A and B are shown apart, each in its own frame.
Chain A
Amino acid sequence: MAGKPVRPVNAIDQTRRMLSLVTYLRERPGARIADVARAFGITEDELVSDLDVLPMCGTSFRGGDLLDIDTDGERIWWHNPDDVAAPLRLAADEATALLVAARAVLTLPGLREGDRQALLRATAKVEAAAGETAGASSRLSVTFESEGGVFADVDRAISERRRLWIRYYSPARDEVTEREIDPIRLVSVGHTYVEAWCRRSEARRTFRLDRVAEIRILDEPSAPPEIELRDLSEALVQPAAEDPQVVVEVGPGGRWVAEYYPHDSADELPDGGLRITLRTPDPASLRRLALRLGRDGRIVSPPELADSARQAAREALAAYDGVARTPDAPQGADEVHGVHDRQERGL
């Protein structure tokens, strides 16, 4: 895992943490810095900066009731523990953040039954402890999408360290290929993906579970090479700088392209459309996009790609010879008209 990013000091989060820290330290005289940092999910440096602030705090500073907390660099001592440090109730945002996340994880069909039961019990206890502050958590919800059976097999293969055989659909080429993969981890970002070492391409690949047409757990052990796990928080598919460039111009009805395709730039056009520049290792895979866009957009470059879309459309039309021309279909008037999910993140 890449080094933890340095978090900016946020006074609210630090205050929240220090209040809990005081409660925690009261129960654990001589607690080790390393253990406390781990329990709080922070770096030792962050903990030490909290320990610098705490001795400046008290129930009545001017009266001299300061927290006498100090550390020898290894252990932490609080010499005048005070009953101000009772465990504090959960704030509305804290209850919401934890409960919404827990309910989202519960929607993962591949979650192991034991873990699901534990999370269900924990959620009920947190709801009870949060009391009425838990109410606002119903105003936020998240559903993870994942294909149950495929998910369970991938999860099992990872924990038993076994190789997988899959038939995988690639929308870019509209073909299903067979490959053996050594799974590394499952990631849910909207859709659920498995990151794996692909034995066919001898490279790291990310596979979307709902595109796995068939899956089998093999007897061979999984042996992915040691690779550094990437931070996938921005995008799962990141185009490389050397990939060829594609320029697409879309009208207002094609603006969704900018929402679904990672791109270098999207410039406004006078008619309310966009000129989008993106990179892809395989421009031919964007023929689907050109066909889908229809009158809502066109490929500007490369010209071969525009030609191949026109050619494909003409070939397709030949099958409809004799069909009378019909007036334009009425456009849907929905607020979220056209959720082009199938276009998303072509691999």
Chain B
Amino acid sequence: MAIAKAERLMNLALCLLGTRRPLSKRELRESIEAYVEAFGPDRGAAGSDDSFNRMFERDKDDLRELGLVIETVENLDGEVGYLARRDSNRLPPITLDAEEAAALGLAAKVWQQARLAGAASGALQKLRAAGLPEDVDPYEAHGALEPRIPVHEAAFEPLMLACRDRRPVLFDYRKASAARPEPRHVEPWALECWRGHWYLAGWDRDRGAERVFRLSRITGKVRSRGSGFTAPVPDVVTVRETVASWAGEIADRTALIRLRTGSGYPLRAKATSVRELGEGWDELEIPYGHGLDAWLVEFGPDVVVLEPAELRSDVVDRLRAVAKG
């Protein structure tokens, strides 16, 4: 049976951490059993060299993903050597008390995305190894709260990595009301989760403007486009405000409606004034932002829009469409 990848990676990490001088690729190949087993000793055979080189590069990348700083050093003979210096790989001293440890323990559990869940518990394990106090059961310490960060969108992981590495991406995106997706070239800046949905903010290369995308509307694969960013990244990226305005959370006007007594609690909760009209009706003043017409139609005959005329006619149009069925 081939030697498991974890064993191979562990040996490579320990060799690089344990050495005081740079080790050449040849030395590493000869001292790590998994390489010897898979490729035999280095005899300069061309075929096995290529596949060894590919595996070695991937293994180094994997260890770097785990946070290992691996230096590449060239000696006087022009031979390349590798080492992971202890001082550049050591965690700076960090002392956390039991309360702080419990709080971090709770935070480390909130990810529901495999890669970040693994990274969060990896961080906690590193801190644990460095002396983080062992927690009492975090749920015991924090009552019955179970916050979770949902990630159902397939586009999340590639976009997270692209944001991290500042790599432009290409994906197919279907706007809410569009029949077909269209390709979009984006320089991704930041991802934000709001109300359980993930959004991406970035620079849309084709439109030459900042745009916000909802991840669930990305269809197909997210592909990387080499090269770097062409537009400057703003210091503060505001995804939530943009989405909130589309969701009608940001209202710039007011509307006057009639509402049947006892119905429409959420409208009452938002109302700036409520007046009893008698005969089973109340009059409410409510904030008027994007999407209010669609929401009001949900209440059917329990709502009548009085003002403004524009909202009134939007609601009537929607009702007519349903009435025609």
Contact = CB atoms under 8 A, between A and B. Distances in A.
Contact of A339 (B92, B160, B243, B300): B243
A171 B177 contact: no
Interface of A: 9-21, 23-24, 27, 35, 38-41, 53-54, 56-63, 65, 67, 82, 84, 86-98, 100-102, 104-105, 108, 110-112, 114-115, 118-119, 121-122, 125-126, 128-129, 131, 133, 136, 138-145, 155, 158-159, 169, 171, 174-176, 183-191, 211, 213, 232-233, 252-253, 255-256, 259, 271-273, 287-288, 290-296, 298, 306, 309-310, 312-320, 323-326, 328-329, 331-332, 334-342, 344
Nearest to A62: B31
B33 A61 contact: yes
Contacts of B318: 291, 294-295
Given A140-B192, A141-B239, 16 more contacts: A20-B126, A21-B125, A41-B108, A97-B120, A115-B106, A118-B99, A122-B104, A125-B96, A128-B92, A131-B92, A143-B193, A174-B299, A189-B148, A290-B322, A293-B322, A320-B304
Contact of A144 (B147, B189, B243): B147
Interface string B42-67: 00000000000000000000110111
Residue with the greatest number of chain B CB neighbours at <10 A, chosen from A140, A273, A309: A140
Contact of B144 (A19, A88, A185): A185
Interface of B: 3-7, 9-11, 13-15, 17-19, 30-33, 36, 62-63, 65-69, 86, 88-97, 99-104, 106-108, 110-112, 114-131, 134, 141-150, 160, 163-164, 173-180, 189-197, 199, 211-214, 216-217, 239-240, 242-243, 246-247, 262-266, 269, 290-291, 293-295, 297-304, 310, 312-314, 316-323, 325
Given A88-B91, A118-B102, A252-B178, A15 B10 contact: yes
Nearest to A334: B246
A97 B92 CA distance: 19
B147 A108 contact: yes
Contacts of A84: 14, 17-18
A89 B89 contact: yes
Contacts of A15: 6, 9-10, 13, 62-63, 66
A342 B249 CA distance: 11
B246 A338 contact: yes
B148 A233 contact: yes
Contacts of A184: 144
A275 to B, nearest CB: 14
Contacts of B130: 23, 87
Contact of B264 (A21, A91, A121, A174): A174
B163 A139 contact: yes
Contacts of B240: 143
26 contacts: A10-B118, A14-B6, A56-B7, A61-B31, A62-B30, A86-B91, A87-B130, A90-B67, A101-B107, A105-B107, A122-B96, A125-B100, A126-B123, A129-B91, A129-B94, A143-B240, A259-B216, A295-B321, A325-B320, A326-B316, A326-B317, A329-B293, A329-B317, A337-B246, A340-B294, A344-B196
